[in-house]
């Protein structure tokens, strides 16, 4: 692409590629075009390659300044640009952006593999480790060097000949397969729809969901109501639709996403097979028995057997509660709704009715109190009290009009970083909720570059002039993701290689996020989060008490479901070779027979949409949710222990002193030390399972199997 075509006309003027802006500046997201991605990435790769070769050829003393600093200088612009490309591919997936991303993916993968296999660069890091300077480096920089050497070995740097070439081929193909898996899942959801023309079939569904479905149908030039598999539509239908056949249709659509049982254009079966084979082959090339063994080299857990023992221990504690939950559901379904053969598509609906009957409230009633703006205001107050930081809205170009941007400042009003929030569901946006970073904190001399973080959710957009209303589960999701964002934004680590997202062990990365969820159950916090959409009144205390009483409603079934996912993940990845899709589904069936209390139909194809495993970083790592939940529950117990009782007898866990310790010992230190050391520094001891079981309502007086 020539120089003229690289430039974009904006406001009657010409400007350079926005992705090539200085690393210290905020990007002009509104001006980024697909051609900017295709132009910037190759040139930035070329710059980074030149820097690597220069460092590798240096025959002078190996020092931090001669080895690490030049590589950071050369690579930070590349990884910032690629992070932006990946982010836009997830939140604004137009055909043009997808094509640009896919056009650059092979070059990025090849570059990453080339760096990992670069013997000259590896030798320089070894020289630095063996030099006299190494012992004079701060502990966090020593750790960066040691982790780099580990990662070089895990990247195949010691491979030779055909094995080395094969490793490169595997890396490239695995990246392509994962990307295609993600595209198939997104496209399968975007393409699926159910047009309802009989309004009676919509009985029970919340009004705003019905109105959104009517608008969606009208936008496509049709009468009726267009239902989709996106969560703001799918979940309310499953929870509230009285039409059992409608629920069954929606359930089948969601359960067969990107599979042989759904739209076969997007079938992920062969991609799952291929990815498992590639992962097993990669592990074998590097001398590991399995992909799981290889992955656990960089985790807190020691080996797959330890993970399986941990999960099965939890399952044994949860199973009696799960069995009790299902029995209660079966009895209620039969007695109150005449459903003698409870099916999976009945469970959300009957569960919601049982919860309403038992605790005398509905999710729809609660949702009226959680307007998006009020929830954000309350969240920011919590963060302010705990960590002494404040959020200030700023105006800067964004990729979608609904995106909000905040300057995060400390108690002295110094900027700590920038937070982009993209909270609403829309066509072409990947489902789910996640946090990622555009750039990490870095200090260069007297200059401090602060982090830029994306927080993405898929909440229901505002409808007909009314604000977006969140369920309490949505509120919990927002707090969860804010924990990830705070981990990056409040880091005091000046070297990006030790930043939270770069070097905190994967099975500890969920600690801050799951920790933040706990505050959503505290009365003092809930009051600050709530204001009725019509009256502005906070959530009534009696309604909160009902919610609290229902907190562990069906917690046994929910925990067993998560354990099912984690066991399945570990078992398919601890094999020494790939599996056929038949073997994958057989493994899942065996796991369900072991831990599940409610079995889905034979045509259920959950793995085909399991993007965490096959298009994300959670392969052989899904157990980390439960592993980190032990840490987070125990960490939150410190706030419970420090809580004060207010004048009205309410417990207030927003203890600033404990929050400051959590900030200093967990959030601020990033990956400068092992996560286990950070937990011990905060808690003063090893983690215990007790708090998780207590928070989940699984205490010793529980029923036994």
User: Which of 481, 517, 522, 629 is an active site residue?
Assistant: 481
Q: From residue 205, give the alpha-carbon distance in Å to each of 199, 235, 240.
A: 11, 10, 5
Q: How far is residue 69's CA from residue 52's CA, in Å, rounded to a whole number?
A: 11
Q: How far is residue 75's CA from residue 61's CA, in Å, rounded to a whole number?
A: 22
The answer to whether 269 and 608 have CB atoms below 8 angstroms apart is yes
Q: How far is residue 322's CA from residue 561's CA, in Å, rounded to a whole number?
A: 10
Nearby residues of 25 by Cβ (< 8 Å), 6 or more positions away: none
Question: Token pair of 677, please?
Answer: 């050391």
Q: How far is residue 225's CA from residue 254's CA, in Å, rounded to a whole number?
A: 18
Question: Token pair of 447, please?
Answer: 């200059």
Question: Token pair of 650, please?
Answer: 């309410």
Tell me if residue 123 falls in helix, strand or coil.
helix
* Contacts made by residues 172-175, CB under 8 angstroms, sequence distance 24+: 172/106, 172/109, 172/110, 172/113, 173/274, 173/278, 174/275, 174/278, 174/279, 174/282, 175/105, 175/106, 175/108, 175/109
Separate counts of helices (H) and strands (E) for the chain: 28, 13
- Please, where are the H alpha helices in 256-288? 269-285
Helix, strand, coil shares of the chain, percent, nearest 5, are 60, 10, 30
| Residue 225, φ and ψ in degrees, nearest 5 | -135, 125
What is the 3 state secondary structure string of 554-604? CHHHHHHHHHHHHHHHHHHHCCCCCCCHHHHHHHHHHHHHHHCCCCCCCCC
- The label of the residue with tokens 């295609």 reads 180
* Contacts made by residues 348-356, CB under 8 angstroms, sequence distance 24+: 348/235, 348/238, 348/239, 348/247, 349/238, 349/239, 349/240, 349/241, 349/242, 349/247, 351/239, 351/553, 351/554, 352/239, 352/240, 354/328, 354/329, 355/550, 355/553
Q: How far is residue 443's CA from residue 445's CA, in Å, rounded to a whole number?
A: 6
72 is catalytic: no
How would you classify residue 684: left for phi > 0, otherwise alpha for psi between -120 and 50, otherwise beta? left
The answer to whether 153 and 95 have CB atoms below 8 angstroms apart is no
Strands 434-439, 415-424: pairing is unpaired
Q: How far is residue 268's CA from residue 259's CA, in Å, rounded to a whole number?
A: 6
Burial class (CB in 10 A: 0-12, 13-18, 19+), 550: middle
Question: Token pair of 67, please?
Answer: 């080895």
Q: How far is residue 506's CA from residue 645's CA, in Å, rounded to a whole number?
A: 36
Catalytic positions are 481
């Amino acid at each position: 692409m020539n120089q003229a075509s690289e430039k974009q006309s904006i406001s009657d003027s010409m400007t350079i590629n926005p992705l090539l802006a200085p690393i210290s500046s905020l990007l002009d997201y509104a001006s980024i075009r697909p051609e900017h991605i295709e132009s910037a990435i190759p040139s930035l790769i070329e710059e980074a390659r030149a820097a690597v070769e220069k460092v590798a050829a240096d025959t002078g003393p190996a020092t931090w300044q001669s080895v690490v600093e030049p590589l950071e200088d050369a690579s930070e612009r590349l990884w910032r640009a690629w992070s932006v490309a990946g982010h836009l591919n997830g939140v604004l997936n137009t055909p043009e952006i997808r094509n640009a991303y896919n056009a650059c993916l092979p070059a990025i993968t090849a570059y990453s593999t080339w760096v990992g296999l670069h013997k000259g660069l590896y030798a320089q890091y070894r020289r630095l480790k063996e030099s006299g300077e190494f012992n004079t480096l701060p502990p966090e920089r020593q750790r960066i060097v040691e982790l780099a050497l580990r990662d070089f070995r895990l990247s195949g740097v010691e491979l030779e000949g055909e094995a080395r070439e094969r490793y490169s081929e595997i890396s490239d193909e695995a990246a392509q397969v994962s990307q295609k898996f993600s595209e198939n899942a997104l496209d399968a959801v975007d393409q699926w729809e159910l047009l309802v023309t009989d309004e009676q079939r919509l009985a029970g569904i919340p009004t705003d969901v019905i109105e959104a479905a009517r608008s969606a149908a009208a936008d496509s030039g049709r009468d009726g109501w267009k239902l989709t598999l996106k969560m703001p539509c799918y979940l309310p239908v499953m929870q509230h639709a009285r039409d059992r056949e409608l629920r069954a249709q929606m359930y089948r659509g969601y359960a067969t996403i990107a599979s042989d049982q759904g739209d076969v254009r997007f079938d992920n079966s062969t991609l799952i097979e291929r990815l498992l084979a590639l992962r097993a082959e990669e592990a074998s090339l590097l001398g590991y028995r399995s992909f799981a063994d290889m992955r656990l080299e960089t985790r807190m857990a020691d080996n797959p057997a330890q993970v399986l023992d941990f999960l099965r221990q939890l399952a044994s504690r949860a199973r009696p509660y799960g069995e009790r939950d299902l029995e209660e559901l079966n009895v209620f379904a039969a007695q109150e709704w005449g459903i003698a053969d409870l099916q999976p598509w009945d469970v959300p609906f009957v569960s919601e009715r049982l919860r309403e009957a038992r605790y005398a409230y509905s999710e729809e009633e609660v949702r009226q109190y959680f307007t998006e703006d009020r929830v954000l205001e309350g969240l920011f107050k919590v963060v302010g009290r705990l960590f002494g930081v404040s959020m200030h809205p700023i105006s800067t170009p964004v990729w979608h009009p609904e995106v909000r941007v905040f300057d995060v400042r400390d108690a002295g009003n110094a900027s700590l970083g920038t937070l982009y929030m993209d909270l609403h569901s829309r066509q072409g946006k990947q489902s789910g909720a996640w946090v990622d970073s555009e750039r990490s904190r870095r200090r260069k001399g007297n200059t401090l570059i602060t982090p830029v973080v994306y927080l993405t959710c898929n909440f229901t957009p505002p409808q007909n002039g009314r604000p977006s209303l969140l369920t309490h589960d949505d509120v919990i999701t927002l707090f969860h993701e804010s924990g990830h964002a705070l981990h990056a934004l409040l880091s005091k680590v000046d070297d990006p290689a030790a930043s939270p997202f770069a070097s905190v062990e994967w099975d500890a990365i969920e600690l801050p996020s799951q920790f933040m969820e706990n505050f959503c159950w505290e009365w003092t916090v809930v009051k600050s989060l709530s204001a009725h959409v019509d009256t502005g009144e906070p959530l009534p205390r009696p309604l909160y008490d009902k919610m609290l009483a229902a907190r562990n409603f069906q917690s046994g079934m929910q925990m067993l479901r998560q354990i099912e996912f984690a066991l399945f993940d570990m078992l398919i990845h601890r094999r020494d070779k790939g599996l056929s899709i038949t073997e994958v589904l057989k493994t899942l069936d065996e796991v369900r027979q072991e831990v599940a209390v409610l079995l889905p139909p034979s045509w259920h194809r959950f793995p085909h949409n399991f993007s965490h495993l096959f298009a994300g970083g959670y392969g052989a790592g899904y157990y980390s949710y439960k592993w980190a939940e032990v840490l987070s529950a125990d960490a939150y117990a410190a706030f419970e222990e420090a809580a004060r009782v207010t004048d009205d007898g309410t417990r207030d866990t927003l203890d600033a002193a404990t929050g400051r310790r959590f900030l200093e010992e967990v959030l601020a230190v990033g990956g400068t030390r092992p996560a286990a050391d950070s937990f011990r520094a905060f808690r003063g001891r090893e983690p215990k399972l007790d708090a998780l079981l207590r928070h989940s309502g699984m205490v010793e007086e529980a029923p036994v199997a």
